[in-house]
Structure 1
Amino acid sequence: MNTEKPKVQFIDISDDIAGQRIDNFLRNRLKNVPKSMIYRVLRKGEVRVNKKRIKPEYKLQAGDVIRLPPIKIPETAQVEAPSTKLNRVAELEKCVIYEDDHMLVLNKPSGTAVHGGSGLHFGAIEAMRALRPDARFLELVHRIDRDTSGILLIAKKRSALRHLQAQFREKTVQKYYFALAMGNWKPSMKKVTAPLLKNEVNSIVRVNPNGKPSETRFKVMEQFEQATLVQASPITGRTHQIRVHAQYVGHPLAWDDRYGDPRFDAYTKKFGLSRLFLHAANIKFTHPGTEELMDISAPMDKQLERALEGLRKAPRVS
């Protein structure tokens, strides 16, 4: 049992950290603290920056000083690094589709969170740190949903992290997902720009005029009897953006437990589908070391491929 009492901490913000939102910074630093607790101490003003109360969306500046109150981590959340002998950890080694001195690219399986916390013992980043014990630096460049499969960038140098995250902020990174949507998606529906508002307590996202500007571009790839395979490219990077925008236009994604339609899940189950059909298939960005254009693709897993094969054999839209 850990009997050490938590203490007040003071954190100096360097140029490397500047630009991050305070809530994201705390969630990354306090990995085993429940997200609800982090937002509670922010809301109560117990976290101070330069002796002042701040909002969760405050962006840190170089030279800021954060005061963290004593935060007791629940005993159930204090877990050791995942063992590399666990099947799910060892399997991630086979999911590395690109690696060099600056970064690695993972074809993350569906069901694996990008990081631990909120009852999860470990995520992809903790597993990769266990698999790369000699790596001095491994940090997530971005995030994708737990049930979404596909491309996840991990930086192996702080300079690479800053370079890649700057590209995401400047929207020069191109990301393409494959998604199976309910019904007959009209090819003319090429863009959704509905603003999105996230509930910070339960992470449910809704279209709301008071939300953040959001844009997703869609392209019909293949039509089936009661479904459409679309390519989705998020221009902004809001939580659950593709899923909510698809639902908003009347075409929720298959096996989406938050925004989906049980009738569509029952239909696609006939073709062997039992997971969210959303796959980060391709990404284009500038290499943080060589400045060359990178174009990386990640194959879909067997379940998604089999489901598509089954749908192709079913009657087609006339």
Structure 2
Amino acid sequence: MTLQRLFDHPDFMAIYKPIGVGMHSESGELGLQLLAEQQFGLKLWMVHRLDKVTSGVLLFAKHAEAAAQLSNLFSEQSIQKTYLALSQSKPKRKQGRIKGDMAAARNGSYKLLKTQSNPAITDFFSLSIELGLRLFVCRPKTGKTHQIRVALKSEGAAILGDQRYGQPSDRTYLHAWRIAFQYQKEAFQIEAAPLEGEWFNKNTFIDKLKQLENGNYWPEHWLKNQN
């Protein structure tokens, strides 16, 4: 497997995480961190994670000091993360905020609760791509396990291909599209379109993504809070 480097900085690098690769080594398969270290020939520090079924932009630090600074940015919610997801179900709402505590359920799954002790928070809006297919643009404000997958299921729109929370397909259609942050007073925005999946390669999706990249369709309340 050859990993794609998206951005390189003296203190960190961003790669494209493909689907089907875990962050840690398991069952004889190398995790993404070790694969990246072997390919790029340097020691890397993990500062955030993506689910095995999720593709997209992933940051690694190149030394311990950068790892501490970037980890702090993530923990302080100072790094803006934007995800793309597809669903074949119509949501209860076209846009809004999903907020609630998450609790472990059966067989490694999670569920969203009505309580607000330490809630997962996800802002989203959605757009129709074609009949029976909807695009969700999500910004998680917190970093809980399976957060977006559980949040969209709670809206009645489980992610296409999510075998844990939705219906099977060729992949789980959740992609970490963009991250934006300030590091040592310099602004960075790193973005990567999804590469894998027949539905992500449909012209209707590609056209909609281009319109998003050009600034169309973004709700006013999101545009006011770009940082």
Q: Give the Cα separation in 2 of the matches to 1:228 and 1:308.
A: 14
CA distance in 1 between partners of 2:140 and 2:37 (Å): 29
Deviations 1:118-149 (A, max 9, x none): x252111010111233x2x3111100000100
* Residue matched to 1:110: 19
**In structure 2, what is the equivalent of residue 192 of structure 1?**
98
The RMSD of aligned alpha carbons is 2.3
Q: What are the within-5 Å matches in structure 2 for residues 142-291 of structure 1? A: 142-185=48-91, 188-198=94-104, 202-209=107-114, 212-262=118-168, 265=169, 274-287=170-183, 290-291=184-185
Q: Deviations over 1:202-239 (max 9, x none)?
A: 43111235674111111123342112101011011100
Secondary structure of 1:142 counterpart: coil
Whether 2:36 is the aligned partner of 1:128: answer yes
Greater strand content: 2
In structure 2, runs of 5+ residues without a counterpart are: 208-227
1:297 maps to what in 2?
191
Change (3 A) 1:173 1:311: closer
For residues 204 and 212 of structure 1, the distance between their equivalents in structure 2, rounded to whole angstroms, comes to 18
- Distance in 1 between the 2:206 and 2:64 partners? 44
Query: How many angstroms does 1:261 deviate by?
Result: 2.9
In 1, Cα distance between equivalents of 2:206 and 2:84? 15
Computing the radius of gyration from Cα coordinates, the structure with the larger value is 1
Whether the 8 Å CA contact 2:200–2:206 is kept in 1: the answer is no
Indicate how the Cα distance of structure 1 residues 249 and 99 shifts in structure 2: closer, same or farther if over 3 A, else same. same
Query: Does the C-alpha gap of structure 1 residues 308 and 236 become closer, same or farther in structure 2, counting only changes over 3 Å?
Result: farther
Deviation at 1:297, TM superposition (A): 0.4
Q: What amino acid does structure 1 have at the position aligned with 2:48?
A: H
Question: Which residue does the alignment assign to 1:55?
Answer: none
Q: Partners of 1:197 and 1:308 in 2: how far apart?
A: 38
Q: 2:100–2:120: 8 Å Cα contact kept in structure 1?
A: yes
TM norm structure 2: 0.82
Letter in 2 for 1:306: N
Cα distance, 1:311 vs. partner? 10
Match of 1:140 in 2: 46
Q: SS state of the match for residue 202, structure 2?
A: helix
User: What code does the residue aligned with 1:298 have?
Assistant: A
Shift of 1:251: 0.4
2:91–2:157 CA contact under 8 A, matched in 1: yes
Please list every run of 5 or more consecutive structure 1 residues that lacks an aligned counterpart in the other structure. Answer: 1-87, 266-273, 313-318
The structure whose RCO (Cα within 8 Å, separation 6+) is larger is: 2
Structure 1 outlier segments of 4+, above 6 Å? none
1:82-120 Cα deviation digits (max 9, x unpaired): xxxxxx2xx11xx11001210110111111112213x25
Name 2:217's counterpart in structure 1. none
